[in-house]
Structures are given as C-alpha cells and as structure tokens.
Amino acid sequence: MDGLSDLEALARLGIAMGVGAGLGLEREILRKSAGIRTLMLVCEGAALFMICSILLAEQVIEAGGIADPTRIASTVVQGIGFLAGGLIFTARERVRGLTTAAEIWVAAALGLLIGAGFLVVALGAAGATLVALVVLRTLQIKLPFGRKGSETEVGDIDDV
C-alpha cells in the first residue's frame, strides 16, 4: 500500500474546502454569522488534522513504530464540540444557535472523512446535510403547527 501523496492530500484538502463552502452557503443565504468562510475553515481544519495524522502515522510505521492515526481525529471531535458549544445561547427561554453548532460539528466530521480519503461517504453525507438544512427547513416553514409555523419570517427562523 502506497502512502498518501502530496497531490492526493492537496486534492482532499480542496474537496474539504468545497464541501465546507457548500454548507456555509446555506448559512450565508440566511445571513447567519457562521457562513461560507467559517464552515470552509472548519472542514478544511478537520481535513488538515486527519491528513497530518495519516502522514505522521506513515512516518512512524516506516521507522518501525506503531501508530494510531485516529488519535488526532478524536481530539478534533472534542475541540469542535467546544467551538460549537460557544454558539449556543439562551435568550428569553429560547435556545439559539443549535443548528449552526450542529452544522459546524458536521462540517468537522466531513473534513475528517475527506482527510481520511472516504470521499464518497463524505459527499453523500454532505448532500444529506444540505437536504436536512434546506429541504426540511422549507417544509418546517410551511407546516401550520409546531414551534415554527407559517407566520414566522424566513430570516427569523433558526439561530446564530
């Protein structure tokens, strides 16, 4: 098995940035503070951590050692949880920021998948995420019942 080439690592990085930008576009359209640049950077950062982990593991194994490339990925999950948690706040008994925080969490997961080379799974998950964010949001606005019925302004739905 050949190691991860620089060209393949750069391709994964570019794909991660494109996926992050695609997710961020949805937030940007809604004029949320976490938009294209934020989600692109989150996805890129997660991919970079995964690529770094793979490259380091290859070096350690080549030198005769034992390596676990998943260790860095697990700390990305913790770190992104801290970042996303900072987006959630409560105002007048209303929780805000949950969708943006969840989207940042998903962007990091997608970055890890892309960085690890699981491109088909990552692109499928990105598509499913966009369905959840765009299609289901449209359905949610049209429902005459629930906490976000048809009377809500489009720009007021959701969070940060």
CA distances (Å), 53 to each of 42, 119, 127, 142, 155, in order?
17, 17, 26, 45, 40
Asked if residue 152 belongs to a domain, the reply is yes
95: enclosing H helix or E strand: strand 94-96
Identify the DSSP state of 132.
I
**Residue 1 within a domain:** no
Count the domains in the chain.
Answer: 1
Structural element, H or E, at residue 96? strand 94-96
Q: pLDDT exceeding 70 applies to what percent of the chain?
A: 89
User: 36: domain range?
Assistant: 6-156
pTM: 0.81
**130 within domain boundaries:** yes
pLDDT in tens, 54-77: 999 999 999 999 999 888 888 898
List, for residues 24-60, the tens digit of each pLDDT value: 998 899 888 788 999 999 999 999 999 999 999 999 9
Q: Is residue 142 one of the residues assigned to a domain? A: yes
What is the pLDDT of the chain when averaged over all its residues? 86
Residue type, 46: A
Match 């570019």 to its residue by tokens: 14
Q: Is residue 132 part of a domain?
A: yes
Query: Tokens at residue 44, please?
Result: 């890129």
Cβ contact 38:102 at 8 Å: no
Task: For residue 150, give the nearest of 136, 158, 160, 140 by alpha carbon.
Answer: 140
Closest CA to 101 of 123, 82, 127: 82
Nearest to 109 by CA among 136, 85, 87, 81: 81
